[in-house]
Structure 1
Amino acid sequence: MHVITATAELAKFCQHAAQFDFVTVDTEFLRETTYWPKLCLVQAATTEQAVLIDPLAKGIDLSPLFELMANAAVTKVFHAARQDVEIFVKLSGDVPVNLFDTQIAASVCGYGDSVSYDNLVRSVVGVQIDKSSRFTDWSARPLSEKQLTYALADVTHLRDIYVTLRAKIDEMDRASWVADENATLSSIDTYIVKPEDAWRRLKMKINRPRDLAALKALAAWREQRAQDNDQPRGRILKDDAIYELAVQRPLQAEKFDKMRVVPRGFGRSAAASEIIKVLKEVEDLPKDSLPTLPARVHGPSPKGPIGDLIRVLLKAVSEREGVAARIIATSDDIDALVLDDNADVSALKGWRRSIFGDRALAIKHGRIGLAATDEGIIEVPISQS
């Protein structure tokens, strides 16, 4: 099976692909021991040609591929695109233009939440994919014929899936739903993690402003170190260690030896010295410079009867629309909107709000109720007199 290893051949394929309405794309990469993904193979296909591109080939320049990714006239079709797109952002500095994610499209067409590629191939194309090569070493050369066959299948079947899903979206009039979902996927902010914002991914309860300041500072320190050294965050410090250090704030090396969340002897490491410096800066912050804790919203209990009613509504809407309930709203979404009419949750945005969010708020405020009928659960207006 032929693999493109030269820039001129890559440019020729990309010129060919630019003549088509869409090109399917996938990547194979490694990142178990690194912060940044290491691109090992690119697969791409038009309706007439499918190719494998070796980014590790000596002297190859991927610029023609990046130009194709930036071509707005060509739809770039991925499945579960986020990690693939992250690679293109890292290498080219830009998000591919005109993206279509078949996992997103499948979710709004009733195929379920986060459907896998092989399950989608089986459902749409009627083919069973051999996934035994999925976790092989894609950086080793030469790649085996089995690996290459597996990799190519990730873009050839994707062509049929794209055509099928595109037709379903048009038939169901859900193009706006897909557009809403693609907004996050197409934003470069999705892929660039600023160290100062790294604390936001830590779902931890903090009760004191100085603890929050420490959490923010430590998360930023870890993120910067991970990026600079190209190491996974967890190789530097686990999330629970970040939390414990933020709360305990050890300022002497020997204090680390009393903490179970760091390895024995950690206090004598260079990392511990950096952490002590960070924590001393936090301790020196005046009170009026400390971050404000998130306001606690008071309202009905999310686990009370209002939340229960909204969960029944979610099930009814899910069945009526043919979309998995979790795609419309999560349990956390429901908890949040019970507490706050303006909660920053997906259930109160875009197409989700139009089919569910507004109805959930109407139930919360007693404007509609639910009734059981032979046809299922229906919404009924409640008189406000």
Structure 2
Amino acid sequence: MSQRAKPAFPDPVLIETTDALAALCARLAAAEFVTVDTEFMRERTYWPELCVVQIAGPEDVAVIDALAPGLDLAPLYALFDDERVTKVFHAARQDLEIFHLRTGRLPTPLFDTQVAAMVAGFGDQVGYDALIAALTGATIDKAFRFSDWSARPLTPQQIAYAAADVTHLRRAYVKLRARLERSGRLAWVAEEMAALADPATYRLDPEEAWQRLKPRSTNRRFLAVLRAVAAWREREAQRLNIPRQRVVKDETVLEVAAQAPSDVAGLLRARGFPRSLAEGKSGAALLAAISAAKALPEEALPEVEERRNGGRASPALVALLKVLLAAKCEEHDVAQRLVASAEDLERLAAEDEPDLPCLHGWRRAVFGEAALALKAGKVALSAAGRRVSLVPLPSTAAG
């Protein structure tokens, strides 16, 4: 079906009152599943501003104006809590983060079609447009993708665009689920949904913000100061509700951590550090945090990769594991990204018994067992025609 074909769903309804939302959610509570998407703004703020929630059931397509005066989203959250109704999203993480921030809860049960598509052989992190085209033949109109969803009133074109996301998703979900049932991989998706449904996934801990910067240093004292500076920036961004890069940029955070200044003059020597922050209460709080980090005992310093792994991985072994991962994922028609990350492969090469997802559950069957056999010298990689395969080695050759 193309975008110009006769729609298979009723025209979308704009929901602007709590009564209308309650009536909609009462009808949707009888559905086996609903499809959900959101439109939000985050370019100018730290916390996402929810603007629109679009939702579709068997007979309803609605665009909920989350900014409508007096609208209470409680009926929607009650529907999200209803375990009889599956909530279907595509690339759900940011949507779920918004709902978790607002309510402290997550919609349950969940189904993410992007994750399911990776299990079903559609490649790494398949986009919504590509998945819809592959499963339904529909073409998505991209004209309003970067619309200002906080502007009011919503235009008819915006409403139609928002509604299309959840109507096409209904057809895609039905086909994708059937495909997974036929291949026996629905349980694989359920394992991935457990991580998405874990509230810990969405907790924003300022003390962990430093890891986002991916420092290369193995100096644990520097890393302790970096942790303190990055945590300070995260709290400032949250307090001011502005993007963290507008507080101070990443390179400034790294420079401040490297210099570890003890006074305002030292802060101002870091290129790009705002004088308004350095000379106020925020600057004083940062200097105190740096001082505390410099005074930490050795056992309280962050661990570094070499210490955690007991040594660096062999680049050659990591390269072999990468080839094996690609070969096994090609064989099983599953996305590599879903099986193991580059960091996982580094740890697998460096550690004897790492606790990694690729060594548990379905991932172990697809890749983990073969990876351990390769490390143990029990198998070798060989090119067979156009594919890479595993060749068993004699036990005398092991080691």
Q: Report the TM-score range of the alignment, normalised by the length of the smaller protein.
A: over 0.9
Number of aligned residue pairs:
384
Task: Report what 1:303 is aligned to.
Answer: 315
Residue 262 of structure 1 is matched in structure 2 by 273
Residue 320 of structure 1 pairs with residue 320 of structure 2: no
Gaps of 5+ in 1: none
Contact 2:135–2:172 (CA<8 Å) still a contact in 1? yes
* CA distance in structure 2 between the partners assigned to 1:122 and 1:185 by the alignment: 25
> Greater CA deviation, 350-359 or 123-132?
350-359
Q: Is the 8 A contact 1:222 1:237 kept in 2?
A: yes
- Given that residues 218 and 275 in structure 1 are in contact (C-alpha distance below 8 angstroms), is that contact kept between their aligned partners in structure 2? yes
**Distance change (3 Å), C-alpha of 1:107 and 1:293:** closer
Alignment match of 1:10 (pick from 21, 25, 31): 21
Change in Cα spacing, 1:232 to 1:344, as seen in structure 2 (3 Å) is: farther
**TM-fit CA distance, 1:301:** 4.4
Match of residue 332, structure 1, among 327, 343, 346: 343
Shift of 1:330: 3.2
Per-residue CA distance 1:338-369 (angstroms, 9 max, x = gap): 11133354433432222102211210110112
Cα gap change, 1:282/1:297 in structure 2, threshold over 3 Å: closer, same or farther? closer
Say yes or no: does 1:251 pair with 2:262.
yes
Instruction: Give, in angstroms, the shift of residue 36 of structure 1.
Output: 1.1
CA distance in 1, matches of 2:343, 2:163: 39
TM, length-normalised to structure 2 = 0.90
In the alignment, what sits opposite 1:67?
78
1:154-233 alignment, distance < 5 Å: 154-233=165-244
Rounded Cα–Cα distance in structure 2 between residues aligned with 1:243 and 1:344: 31
Is the contact made by 1:299 and 1:338 (CA closer than 8 Å) also made in structure 2? Answer: no
Aligned to 2:7: none
SS in 2 for 1:285: coil
Q: Aligned partners of 1:366 and 1:289: how far apart in 2?
A: 39
Flag structure 2 segments of 5+ consecutive residues without an equivalent. 1-11
User: Cα–Cα, structure 1 residues 201 and 343, in superposed 2: closer, same or farther, change >3 Å?
Assistant: farther
Alpha carbons 1:341, 1:361 under 8 Å: kept: no
Q: 1:57 to 1:98 in 2, by over 3 A?
A: same
- Higher deviation after alignment, 121-130 or 340-349: 340-349
2:329 partner SS: helix
| Cα distance change on mapping 1:268 and 1:121 into 2, 3 Å | same
Distance 1:213 1:309, change over 3 A: closer
Letter matched to residue 79 of structure 2? L
The two structures, once aligned, show a CA RMSD in angstroms of 2.1
Deviates more, 1:198-207 or 1:65-74: 198-207
1:289 positional shift: 4.7
Looking at structure 2, the residues matched to 10 and 152 of structure 1 have their Cα atoms a distance apart, in angstroms, of 16
Shift of residue 11, structure 1, vs aligned partner? 0.7
Task: State the shift of 1:267 in Å.
Answer: 3.8
TM-score, length basis structure 1:
0.93
How far does residue 4 in structure 1 lie from its aligned partner after superposition? 0.8
2:296 matched residue in structure 1: 285
